[in-house]
Structure 1
């Protein structure tokens, strides 16, 4: 990274502040409240790709690290947050992408559908991660995630979800965690 470029320095500083362990599943973002450090030229495009200064970030590990420190605040903006710094980034639509769904059943027979994200994480469709239909995207499904984030279905994931749908009381939907989620 170039030493004379402030955004490159900011990006390097963000990475340097992160713990040296490889498990970035759940950093305590809710405990971190640094002042705004500024804007950094990182964009998450609607296809789920991450870009820095016009170049795609192609290393999945870097995307996973940044996704683990991403949050949306009450002002509607997205930030990469560490204990010492907070950088505003741009998100075209939703910051994360659902690439697949996995269906399973508990021992009691309750169906559970998990959304598989482009970062490798999985979230169940349940009361804590509700399914929603995005009116701006032809009513494609998405899920609400922790830290004010959301993930929208890729086309193939959407088709897979619709393929598993059943009709209840005249409404097409899926059942997960004991809740019926309408798809129309």
Structure 2
């Protein structure tokens, strides 16, 4: 993702305005939009879940939630999309952080951008990394994942039970998820 776009609409303010207009009737249907690529925007989602525009943190949570609502993944690349444009952004690890979970019969995760998902067939829990340094994630939507923060992972580990193969597992939404790589 080399060059920055010269398109004046493809800046953070233009995207925010288009996203607000598109989301007036509920979550924007970004999975249905396939606008032309307009270049790359100097925007990055860092490994800790913070969003930066032109090297400066985006401090308004409402603005971050708005951008998160128009985030789309294609292969290994991430884009902010509106019905008329698509701009590339950088994502260091996962675009979201699962920063809390209600753990009961099912597991309900809440992300740093306000998404709430129940772990199950459409929202898998996946452990990446190594046994010495596991990195837990939960699928949020359409190829977008949230890294599960440390405190929440410790709570999940405490709630896990031995599975049939001896590995520690979690149950939610009718699925079984191993907590070990």
The normalised TM-score by structure 2 is: 0.87
1:72 aligns with 2:73: yes
Match of 1:11? Answer: 12
3-state secondary structure, aligned to 1:133: strand
How does 1:36-55 map onto structure 2 within 5 Å?
A: 36-55=37-56
Tell me the residue number matched to 1:100: 100
What's the Cα RMSD here? 2.2
Between the aligned partners of 2:141 and 2:28, the Cα distance in structure 1 is 12
Unaligned runs of 5+ in 2: none
TM-superposition CA deviations, 1:41-97 (whole Å, max 9, x none): 0000000000011111011000100001001103x1100000011010000011110
What is the Cα deviation at residue 113 of structure 1? 0.5
- Superposition deviation, residue 21 in structure 1: 8.1
In the alignment, the residues of structure 2 paired with residue 99 and residue 48 of structure 1 have an alpha-carbon distance, to the nearest angstrom, of: 10
Residues 155 and 25 from structure 1, CA distance in 2 versus in 1: closer, same or farther, beyond 3 angstroms? farther
In the TM superposition, residue 151 of structure 1 has moved relative to its aligned partner by: 0.7
TM-score, normalised relative to structure 1: 0.86
Describe the SS at the equivalent of 1:84.
coil
Paired residue total = 173
- Counterpart contact for 1:24–1:68, Cα < 8 Å: no
The answer to whether the 8 A contact 2:22-2:82 is kept is no
State the Cα deviation string for residues 105-164 of structure 1 (Å, max 9, x = none). Answer: xxxxxx210111011111111001111111179222111232221111111111111111
Question: Structure 1 CA distance, aligned partners of 2:67 and 2:37?
Answer: 17
Given the alignment, which residue of 126, 132, 138 partners 1:132? 126
Q: Is the 8 A contact 1:140 1:158 kept in 2?
A: no
1:19 Cα deviation after fit: 3.4
Contact 1:25 1:68 in 2 (8 A): no
Alignment gaps of 5+ in structure 1: 105-110
Instruction: Tell me how far apart the structure 2 counterparts of residues 148 and 159 of structure 1 sit (CA, whole Å).
Output: 25
